[in-house]
Structure 1
Amino acid sequence: MAIDLTGLTAVVTGGNNGIGRAMAVGLARAGANVAVWARNAERSADAVAEIAGHGVKAIAVACDVADETAVAAAMDRTVDELGPLGCFVANAGIAEAAPITEMTLETWHRVLRTNLDGTFLCTREAARRFVDQGTGGSMIVVSSTISRYGGAGQAAYAASKTGIVGLGRTLAVELARHRVRCNILIPGWTRTGMNTDLQADERFMKATTGRTPARRWADPEEFHEIATFLADPTMTFHTGNEIVVDGGYTIF
């Protein structure tokens, strides 16, 4: 049975590109009104045009997720324009590769600031809004399969994405009394703009697809239905779960 999210207000951070954009589109296809929080205005405008094409309200909100004041302002604008919050997707993230012997503290802080601090600030703001509304809701925090294995040159990224898993579990436990669910999405290798350099590396693609039982990388569009499932307000007992979408990579 198709999931109906008509009238629900959803926020997707980093919703103008890759998996975030796919999730935003999936929510819109199910009837949700969507706010895209991101920093690239041009890319956000393009995403909002696609989202609105599904007959819903869509807005782009300029927001640095690691800026506490900007996050609060983005939430105020979203609720003012689209109505009470129903689903919050904390997806925004960056990756910077460097061997641990060469990684600077500045790089480490930059990645953790966006990925982990940003997820904390956004989910805290969403939690405050949900609790004040008293109507329950859904949060989705986006981690990565790197939270389950090591990745050469990815110390900062792996640490941030592993931290998000712990944060998501805690949110699920703490907010359950308020009828707020929090689930953790763990995507595997997906063809996004963040990893175009890896997609151009024939040896890397052969190695990763060879280890994936599905024998391919995911396309972002495959996250449309995942987003609607996790946002579905009728799934009132589904919380604290880790949804792994990786073609079998982490169990092979």
Structure 2
Amino acid sequence: MGGSPFDLSGKVALVTGGNGGIGLGMARALAEAGADVAIWGTNAAKNAAARADLARTGRRVVALECDVGEEAAVEAAFAETLRALGRVDACFANAGTYGGRRTSFAEMPAAEWRRVMRVNLDGAFFTLRAAARHMVARGGGGSLVATASLAAIEGAPRNEHYAATKGGVIAMIRGLAVELARHGIRANALLPGWIETEMTAGAIADPRFAAAVLPRIPMRRWGTGADFGGIAVYLASDASAYHTGDSFVIDGGYSLF
């Protein structure tokens, strides 16, 4: 009898924004499934804590400081990842930022628009491009995954810049799925709903917000980083060998209700 298709032994996964929230939830599950893991983040203390957490799985773990909005930083971090772990089989472009200034669209400063674009869209581009180059040159296929958002498919008033980046990410992933299929490389997107992370902590802690939103989630709870572990393992594993160009909505049913 063959081994489990979800066994990631011998594989290497890269998770940007992997030092907390959704990213850490994915990285932990990937390591527990047998993958060696590289995480990138901008906060050195969080990187160190996440690395210690992941190292308990017994897998090789690399934690690097990287601002994904800087092209040179991404190229350097990817090269260091390869030096440390030898290859990248699955790349999760998960790092992102939120629309911090909830001004009206008509009053949105160009600098605010560019701040969010720089991380969420440029950062995903730089990361996925580096991974695609490596996977094509190495041969043997691979998996590219980008974290988008429900904001990409639902109206996001006063947050149009964030929504635009996430819609762009989905479109980019679909293009990659078609272009890179000949190389055995799959590309898929994740669309989280309301998940408990540092980014959403302020909103979730607001009683008025919770009273308005939580009843609309059929699961009747906020999501957690751990809720993304299963899909991460699936997309990194041979179980998803014929699954590409998809967008996985993980929101506890919020978008249905």
Provide the TM-score with structure 2 as the length reference: 0.95
> Is residue 3 of structure 1 aligned with residue 6 of structure 2?
yes
User: Do structure 1's residue 83 and structure 2's residue 86 form an aligned pair?
Assistant: yes
Q: Which amino acid aligns with 2:178?
A: V
Which one-letter code corresponds to 2:84 in the other structure? E
**Structure 1 residues 45, 79: CA separation in 2 closer, same or farther (over 3 Å shift)?**
same
Q: Which amino acid aligns with 2:198?
A: G
| Aligned position for 2:247 | 242
**Does the CA contact (< 8 Å) of 1:137 and 1:233 recur in 2?**
no
Same amino acid, percent of matched pairs = 45
1:229 corresponding residue in structure 2: 234
* CA positional deviation for 1:2: 7.2
**What is the SS of the residue equivalent to 2:9?**
coil
Given that 1:9 and 1:32 are in contact with CA atoms closer than 8 Å, whether structure 2 keeps it comes out as yes
Distance of 1:2 and 1:167 partners within structure 2:
27
SS at match of 1:54: coil
Secondary structure of 1:194's aligned partner: coil
Contact 2:5 2:237 in 1 (8 A): no
Indicate conservation of the 8 Å contact 2:186/2:241, yes or no. Answer: yes
1:28 aligned to which of 31, 55, 61: 31
Alpha-carbon distance between aligned partners in 2 of 1:2 and 1:203, rounded to the nearest angstrom:
44
Q: What is the deviation of 1:235?
A: 2.2
Give the structure 2 partner of residue 217 of structure 1. Answer: 222
**Contact conserved, 1:148 with 1:250, CA < 8 A, in 2?**
no
**Helix, strand or coil at the partner of 2:15:** strand
Look up the match of 2:172.
Answer: 167
* 2:55 aligned with 1:72: no
Residue 133 of structure 2 is matched in structure 1 by 128
Distance 2:43 2:115 in 1: 17
Q: What is the TM-score with the length of structure 1 in the denominator?
A: 0.97
Work out the CA distance in 1 between the residues paired with 2:81 and 2:238. 19
What is the match of residue 192 of structure 2? 187
Structure 1 residue 201: Cα displacement: 0.9
Correspondent of 2:101 among 97, 101, 106: 97
Q: Offset at 1:251?
A: 1.7
Aligned pair partner of 2:149 in 141, 144, 148: 144
Does the 8 A contact of 1:27 with 1:227 survive in 2? yes
**Partner of 1:56 in structure 2?**
59
In structure 1, C-alpha distance between the alignment counterparts of 2:172 and 2:255, rounded to whole Å: 21
Distance 1:156 1:188 in 2: 17
The CA distance in 2 between the partners of 1:9 and 1:57, in whole Å, is 9
Name the aligned partner's letter for residue 245 of structure 2: G
Q: Secondary structure at the match of 1:131?
A: helix
SS in 1 for 2:213: helix
2:156 and 2:163 in contact (8 A); partners too: yes
Distance (whole Å) between structure 1 residues aligned to residue 208 and residue 239 of structure 2: 44
